Amino acid sequence: MSDASGRPDHVAALLGRIVDRSCLIGIVGLGYVGLPLALAAAKARFRVLGFDINAARVAQLNRGESFVRHIPTEAINRAAREGRFKATDDFSRLDEADAILICVPTPLTRQREPDMSFIDATARAIAARLRPGQLVVLESTTWPGTTRERLKPVFERSGLVCGRDFFLAFSPEREDPGNTDYQTSTIPKVVGGEGIEALELAQALYDSLVVRTVPVSSTATAEAVKLTENIFRSVNIALVNELKVIYEPMGIDVWEVIEAAKTKPFGFMPFYPGPGLGGHCVPIDPFYLAWKAREFDTPTRFIELAGEINTAMPHYVVDRLARALDERAGRGMKGSRILVIGVAYKKNIEDTRESPSLRLMDLIEARGADVAFHDPHVATIPVTREHPALAGRRSLDLAPDAIAGFDAILIATDHDEVDYHALVAHGRIVVDTRNACARAGLTGDHVVKA
């Protein structure tokens, strides 16, 4: 059956509910992607039911408490007061949602291959409750073909047919935690659908949530867009990291070079070196494409080389730290006391996922030094698979006498709230991987760029 416009009844009905904001949006995964999306949908006057396997997080959100620094508690409370947001760990309620948006993690295994366990588990949970007329959109970053090859067959085992009974799309998340210039609703969304109807529905939904949607020809194309965005960053960061290593023995400051180069109004985009890559996207996404490319016997030399350079940066930084101790203090790493500034993977956030700071701490301790850290946004290092020995360590206060008690300070994350003047004034040696001291106008023989 179809309506007057020729649309199938399921499409017309759901499209109508999207337009008049009467549809219920289910969001699976209430982390750094799902929670901002849920609040954006609530602000757009949709009702939102958020799903998460973390019962403690669900309870926290239902109490109106935020666990993400840049998401204010008031935003959660407002959405709840207006009856537009509720969290649950009861996945049997998935059939209540008209549109289900999947925002679950896609990490790598220890062998640096895609770990699809969260997507697979979510797909099975949805399939068990899938009903006619639902739209399902995957937002999790993944390899091209996942939506069609991984989700569609699982959903169709329910007996429902994709494109006739239910509708499937992909729209990559573009969250940038800590970015005060852009929020979920002000970032354009790329959308690809499994068929014309799925694309129409997904575009209509996101048109209601964000400033603009960018439709593409397929879900695989939309999946490739996300990988391309993050591989672009990975490759360019690797380039400036390598330039840093090349220029250092020449006595050339790579940060000064970049600042001068970016005055060119065309043909150059500034990227900045650091101690390594962190976060859930840039260090991981290139490996998703490299893994998928092997299926087609296609080499990914450029992408893999960038990964090798970025992965090697913590070792380079620790070597620079060891040299600074030797040249300026006449001592080795063994027995030294090192204070790492910042364990979040980027400035002004509390997210430690894939943080190079944790790798730095492990490498420094492997050389026999004692390591402590200060981070204004991370009170305690959480449990991680890669760095279990660091779990539970607490941030130190930056009192002048505490700073002076360390043999060297290593700036790994350049949070705005850190007192760099105190570090330079009281620190014996300051090794700066982010150019934070120079940006603050602080120099000295004991300040070393790395």
Q: Which residues are catalytic?
A: 281
Strands (E), 11-110: 24-28, 47-51, 85-88, 99-102
For 114, which DSSP code? Answer: B
- Structure tokens, 306: 């960038």
Contact between 167 and 230 (Cβ < 8 Å): no
Q: Please tell me whether residue 87 adopts helix, strand or coil conformation.
A: strand
- Structure tokens, 177: 């935690």
**Nearest partner of 277 among 320, 243, 308, judged by Cα:** 308
Distance, in Å, from the CA atom of 146 to the CA atom of 203, rounded to the nearest integer, reads 20
Alpha helices in 367-441 (DSSP H): 400-404, 420-426, 436-439
- Structure tokens, 224: 């490739």
* Interhelix angle 356-366/301-329, nearest 10 degrees: 50
Distance, in Å, from the CA atom of 232 to the CA atom of 96, rounded to the nearest integer, reads 39
6-10: which pairs have CB atoms within 8 A and are 24 or more residues apart? 7/197, 8/164, 8/197, 10/132, 10/133, 10/164, 10/165, 10/167
